[in-house]
Amino acid sequence: MSLLTLMLVKAWVLPLLYLDFEIRRDYIIANLCVNRNKPMMHCDGKCYLAKRIADAKEKDARQAENDYLSHLIYQVMDSREVLYAASPVTFEIRTSIHYQYKSPFTARNPVADIFHPPLV
């Protein structure tokens, strides 16, 4: 149940930031906006919203990296699983192997083809 809740909260972070911005827009413009002293910029608190979204994305990236590293360390340090267990293997070695093969590319003696006794 808690994993499902965590996934839902993570999925709804950005929409909730937008909702919070829309609900508290007047307060953000009056008190939290970086450009509140410069009304000509027509920022209307969007700088604060952009800052909050960037912080949320950075936090999410750091959390994902930490989760990956902790999962990797857990896999390496987990000693319950045997990663490789080799059973002894025996091999039979033959002492000699004989092949009956005569290559057609062996050198011939052309003199023996020419000089031989007459054939009857």
| Listed residue (73, 65, 35, 40) closest to 51, CA to CA | 35
Indicate the number of domains in the chain. 1
74-117, pLDDT tens digit by residue? 776 666 655 566 777 787 777 777 777 777 776 666 676 677 77
Residue 12: domain span: 2-77
pLDDT tens digits, residue range 21-30? 899 999 988 8
Is residue 67 a part of any domain in this protein? yes
Which among 61, 56, 62 is positioned nearest to 14, based on CA atoms? 56
The CA-based diameter of the chain, rounded to the nearest angstrom, is: 127
20 belongs to a structural domain? yes
Confirm whether 41 is domain-assigned. Answer: yes
Q: How many CB atoms lie within 10 A of CB 3?
A: 7
For residue 104, being part of any structural domain is answered with: no
Looking at the whole model, is its pTM more than 0.75? no
Distance CA 69, CA 77 (A): 12
